[in-house]
Structure 1
Amino acid sequence: MKRPLKSGWLFWPALLVIFLAAQAWKDRGLVQGRAPPLGTRALDGAGFAWDDVAGRPAVLYFWATWCPICRAIRSNVEALAADYPVISVALQSGSDSVLRHYVRREGFTLPVFPDPEGTIAARFGLQGVPAIFIVDAGGTVRYAMTGYTSELGLRVRLWLAAHRA
């Protein structure tokens, strides 16, 4: 008769610690503090400054047309736009005309700021997409994450950003 391993209870906590450490390492270079300016115009010609959304938390979403995880997370991010300002930056996704065609074909509903050379991404310390920054009402980056994130996870972070002193 086999006895259950007494050390089996260590597996899940150890796995969680490894996962959290990997997440922290992966996101280590992302900007902290004051959110940098975008310094460009959206595809529709509109400009943007963090003062435009002052007084409430906002979401900055970096994505790319060639990124499958970005497609998977898009509905999570778009769902937030009913309640919060959401700005999107298309990283290295082709010319404005190619990007306009993609946005129209895919039914993209967020304002799109093109970043063909990765200039905006560099200001935010990005190494890959998708990436999401939660910026509080005062323009400070409160949360920065890369990879897949659930709508609930984003809503919790937005709530915390709104209620943090």
Structure 2
Amino acid sequence: MVNKEVPRRRRWWRWLLEAALLAAVLLAIHLYQTRNTVRGEAPGFSARLLDGSPVSLQDYRGKPLLLQFWATWCPVCNLEQGSIDAIARDHAVLSVALDDASPAEIRAWMSGKGVRYAVIADPSGQIAAAFGVQGVPTSIILDAGGVIRFVEVGYTTGPGLRLRLWWAGI
């Protein structure tokens, strides 16, 4: 009986060690991907939406905000668009298109995807640079006071984004 328990215990410890190692690797990747993104108070900006109306980050104070950086040419961004659009029905979403495409081309792409949330065209990357964004998609969650609470680079699930928005609203 003792002989059977020792191998089981070793297997349990080995599994635990492997899980901890995997978690450490994933954390290291996340920290590397977000190493240059701004932390704390979000940098303010004013811009124009694709429809020409003015928008400012200050307009979203008082509620959590998903600030989404993406591009029409990005396949991972395309995968996320449905989730982002669904989230925009219940939460504040402002997206920044980092494209060389014209606003008309971005609007046509959005129309083809059925996307209806607010989009800013940032072909020069000024807004992205202010936030330290270096790749797309990048999801930044701000709390009601305009403080950056979460930064995710790469694919993020709809439920994961909703959970972060909820957490930012507490």
Normalising by structure 2, report the TM-score.
0.87
Task: From the superposition, tell whether residues 110 and 93 of structure 1 become closer, same or farther in structure 2 (CA, over 3 Å).
Answer: farther
Which amino acid in the other structure matches residue 104 of structure 1? S
Q: How big is each residue's C-alpha offset from its partner over 1:34-88, in whole Å with a ceiling of 9 and x where there is no partner?
A: 2223332011012212332221111111110000000111122112112211001
The match for 1:38 is: 45
The question of whether the paired residues in 1 share the 8 Å contact of 2:34 and 2:152 is answered with: yes
Equivalent of 2:35, from 2, 5, 28?
Answer: 28
Query: CA offset at residue 106 of structure 1?
Result: 2.1
The match for 1:142 is: 149
User: Does structure 1 residue 54 correspond to structure 2 residue 83?
Assistant: no
**Backbone CA RMSD of aligned residues:** 1.7
The match for 1:8 is: 14
The question of whether the paired residues in 2 share the 8 Å contact of 1:66 and 1:93 is answered with: no
Q: Name the SS for the 1:37 alignment partner.
A: coil
Matches within 5 A, 1:59-70: 59-70=66-77
Equivalent of 2:168, from 151, 158, 161?
Answer: 161
CA distance in 2, matches of 1:82, 1:97: 23
User: Does structure 1 residue 81 correspond to structure 2 residue 88?
Assistant: yes
CA distance in 2, matches of 1:75, 1:102: 13
The match for 2:3 is: none
The sequence identity of aligned pairs, in percent, is 41
Structure 1, unmatched stretches of 5+, are none
CA distance in 1, matches of 2:45, 2:85: 20
Q: Name the SS for the 1:40 alignment partner.
A: strand
Q: Name the SS for the 1:59 alignment partner.
A: strand
Query: CA offset at residue 148 of structure 1?
Result: 0.8
Structure with greater helix share of residues: 2
| CA radius of gyration, larger in | 2
Equivalent of 2:97, from 82, 90, 101?
Answer: 90
